[in-house]
Structure 1
């Protein structure tokens, strides 16, 4: 029970910290300014966040199972590299890509809304979310730790909290925050933590620790 709570909190923290100031939050806040604080807009954004997060958590867990061959109860070898080492090296590469996204300023082009259709908004949101920092991070963590349902649910709740902030505050307010030191500093700090995590994965994979 305690481990379940900690995994859920880990997922929540990842979703919250890596989503703040992201492209999906920008889009939702811009649409809020255009169309008002529409409840269907918020519910659509939440639905997309849950779908994209759960899909990536499940995909990461499935890849982890495939790599280490848990169904056969033994590690699979790829040449001289064990499956666990390959898993960690792959995770490090993806995490570095995630850190680059966090370090890179979000383009103002993301403020352009797709259409007034919630269906079109859903497609745009899911496409933006599926390879964004929260989803890539939960993909790797679920691949390494398992527990995709718990981690995915926690991450989705954290991402939804950030989307609610965007929906509630609107883009003009969030733009000032995003360009300020607080949000920018947080994204840089989270990116640095992810770089350290990636380095740790490489060290373990190469047997240096």
Structure 2
């Protein structure tokens, strides 16, 4: 059960600081709080987290324990760098109203974003991919639901840039500690 709660908290924090929440808030502001956007957000989170957990557990099963720890360190580093280097980008001028297009964009952003990387790492390190996927999907979807409901006020109400850099820094430190521990340098 700890992997569920850890994935829930980690994915929520990563989504809060990431680009996906800003994208959903901007779409909600432009399209109105359409229920289709909310449903697409939840489906994207569920599918992306399930895929990330399945890939993480499958790859970790083929590695020695030391290599598993290095894999987790690399994935944590990638998640931190993704948050630190990739900002939300420009708002769409004419966003699509296509459910499929929104689902595809949000799903790809979720699987290649920090939340997807964290679910991958947790599934690889804990050996409980179903719990990591469920926690990650719930955490990410909860943040996207908040972004959907707040809409245009999302960027104005939250200090997104400092939040993003803080979470990125924590992930990079966790990657360094995990990597040094895997190499036997810390203990």
Moved over 4 A (4+): none
Deviation at 1:157, TM superposition (A): 0.7
Asked if 1:163 is matched to 2:140, the reply is no
The answer for the alignment partner of 1:121 in structure 2 is: 102
The answer for the alignment partner of 1:61 in structure 2 is: 57
Equivalent residues of 1:64, 1:143 under 8 A apart: yes
Cα distance between partner residues in 2 of 1:60 and 1:19: 19
Equivalent residues of 1:114, 1:120 under 8 A apart: no
1:44 aligned residue (40, 50, 70): 40
2:153 aligned residue (173, 181, 187): 173
Deviation at 1:155, TM superposition (A): 1.2
- Cα deviation code 1:6-34 (max 9, x no counterpart): 32211110111110142221221122112
Cα distance between partner residues in 2 of 1:7 and 1:92: 17
Alignment of 1:73-88 (within 5 A): 83-88=64-69
Deviation at 1:99, TM superposition (A): 0.8
Asked if 1:206 is matched to 2:183, the reply is yes
Asked if 1:28 is matched to 2:28, the reply is no
C-alpha spacing 1:131/1:60, structure 2 compared with 1 (3 Å): same
- Cα deviation code 1:99-137 (max 9, x no counterpart): 11222351332x226521101111111111111001101
- Cα deviation code 1:153-187 (max 9, x no counterpart): 011111011111111011x3112134x3xx43333
Cα distance between partner residues in 2 of 1:102 and 1:66: 28
Asked if 1:193 is matched to 2:170, the reply is yes
**Where in structure 2 are there 5+ consecutive unaligned residues?**
none
TM-score normalised by the chain length of structure 1: 0.81
Look at both structures and tell me which one has the larger radius of gyration over its CA atoms: 1
RMSD: 1.7
Equivalent residues of 1:16, 1:162 under 8 A apart: yes
Count of matched residue positions in the alignment of Structure 1 and Structure 2 = 185
Cα distance between partner residues in 1 of 2:31 and 2:79: 31
TM-score normalised by the chain length of structure 2: 0.90
SS in 2 for 1:138: helix
SS in 2 for 1:66: coil
C-alpha spacing 1:38/1:176, structure 2 compared with 1 (3 Å): same
C-alpha spacing 1:12/1:88, structure 2 compared with 1 (3 Å): same
